[in-house]
Amino acid sequence: MLKPIIGILGGGQLGMMLCDAAKKIGLETHTFCPDDEFPSKSKSTYFTIGEYTDEKKVIKFSNEVDFITYEFENIPIKTIDFIKDKEKIRPGKLSLLLTQDRLVEKEFLEKLNIPIAPYKVIRNSNDISSAQSEFTNSIVKTRTLGYDGKGQFSLSKSDNPDEVFKKINNKSIVEKKIPFEFEVSVIIARDKKNNLSYFPIGRNIHENHILKYTYTPFDLSKTQTEELINYSKMIISELNHIGVLAVEFFVTKNKILVNEIAPRVHNSGHWTIDACNVSQFEQHMICVSGGKIKKPLLKYSAQMTNIIGDEIYEWYDKNNTYNVKIYLYNKNEVKKGRKMGHVTELFDKDRTFKD
Ligand code: ATP
Ligand code: MG
C-alpha cells in the first residue's frame, strides 16, 4: 500500500520533529521551504525548495501530497489560497487568519469572552501615553511576525511617548505587563471527527522573553486545570482546527489570562516526545492524516530545557543517556537568542516539580 504523504509548509525544527513522527507512524513527508538548507531537509521524505509566493511551485507541491500542514503561523495567506483542494489543508485557513495578527487574535478571544491582558492599539503617541497612565508597566508588541520576544520591548511610565512612537517600525499594540505567578501552556488536539484530547499541562519559564524551561507535572489546582482546559477547548473548537494547537497562559493569584495562541505544535510540548505514549508531533500527524486522536498519558515526569545561541557548543559532544535526550536542530548559523536545540530530562513519574 502506498503511504500517505503529508506536505509540510516550513522546514524548521518543528518540521524536523514532525517528519520524525510521521515516519514513526508510517507516513511520508514532503517539505516546502524557501531556504536551500533547512533543519528538516534530511528528515523529510521529499522536499521542494521554493518561495511561498511561487504559485506554480505551491500548486505542484499541493498536487503531490495527500494533506498539507504548516509548522509556523506566518505562511502567507496567499500561499494557502493557491491550493485548490482546501480539504487537504489541516489546520485550515481560519487558524492562520486569526493568529497571524496579534490584534485580530485578541479580538477573537474577546469575542469568546476569554480573559486576556488589557491592551491598546498604537496609532499615535497619545495611545502610548494613555497606556502609561493606565498600566503600571507595559510591553509594546508588534502585531505581526513576532516570535521569541522579537519585536517586543518594555515601556515604563517615564518613557517619552514621542520617542517610543518613533522607535516602532511595525503596526503594534501595547499590553499591560501582568504580574503573573507563573506561565503554562496547554497543548490540545482535535481530529476530523471533532474528538479532542490534551497533554498534561506544562509550566513554562521564560528568560529574556524566550522559553527556557518547561516541566510537568507541577501543582495546579483542579479549578485552575479545568479553566485552562475549558478555554483551550473553546479556542480549538471555534477555529475548527484539525491537528495540534497550543495556548499560552498567564496564571495570576486569582485569574487566568490567555497570552497567545499558536496554531501548531509548540516548543513547550517537546518533552512529550520522550515522556508520553504519543508525542505532540505524532498526535498532529494522526489528526492531519484523518486518524483517530490518542489520549496522551504521562510515562515520566519531564523537564525540557532549550539550548539557546552559543550554549549549543556544550552539547555537540554529549550523548543521550537513559534519562537525558538531546535534540540538536542542525541550524547553519549560531545566533544570539536563536533556538539551537533542546534537551529533555526524564524522572520517575511520581515526581512533582516545585518552584
Ligand atoms: P514566543 O514565540 O516565544 O511565544 P512571542 O514573541 O510570541 O514569543 P509572547 O508570547 O507575547 O511573545 O511573549 C514572550 C514572553 O514574554 C511571555 O511568555 C512572557 O514571559 C513575557 N510577556 C509577554 N507579554 C507579557 C505581559 N503582558 N505581561 C507579562 N509578561 C509578558
Ligand atoms: Mg509566546
Q: What is the pLDDT of residues 286-337, one digit of tens each?
A: 999 999 999 999 999 999 999 999 999 999 999 999 999 999 999 989 999 9
Based on the fold, state whether residues 166 and 192 are members of the same structural domain: no
CA of 209 to the centre of ligand 2 (A): 8
Number of other CB atoms surrounding residue 103 within 10 Å = 15
CA distances from 253 to 180, 206, 220 (A): 7, 19, 12
Based on the fold, state whether residues 165 and 143 are members of the same structural domain: yes
The answer to whether position 232 is within a domain reads yes
Ligand 1 atom at minimum distance from 151 CA? 6
Q: What pLDDT was estimated at residue 128?
A: 95
The answer to whether position 260 is within a domain reads yes
CA of 63 to the centre of ligand 2 (A): 34
Structural domains in the chain (count): 3
Based on the fold, state whether residues 65 and 192 are members of the same structural domain: no
Ligand 1 atom at minimum distance from 141 CA? 11
Ligand lying nearest the CA atom of residue 152: 1
Tell me the C-alpha distance between 273 and 341, whole Å: 14
Q: Is the CB of 148 under 6 A from ligand 1?
A: yes
Asked if residue 183 lies in contact with residue 204, where contact means CB atoms within 8 angstroms, the answer is: yes
Domain boundaries, position 332: 182-347
Q: Which three cell numbers, joined as nine digits, stand for 280?
A: 505532540
pLDDT in tens, 136-183: 999 999 999 887 778 889 999 999 999 999 988 789 999 999 999 999
In this prediction, the residues of the chain whose per-residue pLDDT falls under 50 are none
Final residue of a domain: which of 47, 70, 89? 89
Ligand lying nearest the CA atom of residue 73: 1
Ligand lying nearest the CA atom of residue 206: 1
Cα 197 off chain centre by: 17
Q: What pLDDT was estimated at residue 1?
A: 58
CA of 151 to the centre of ligand 2 (A): 12
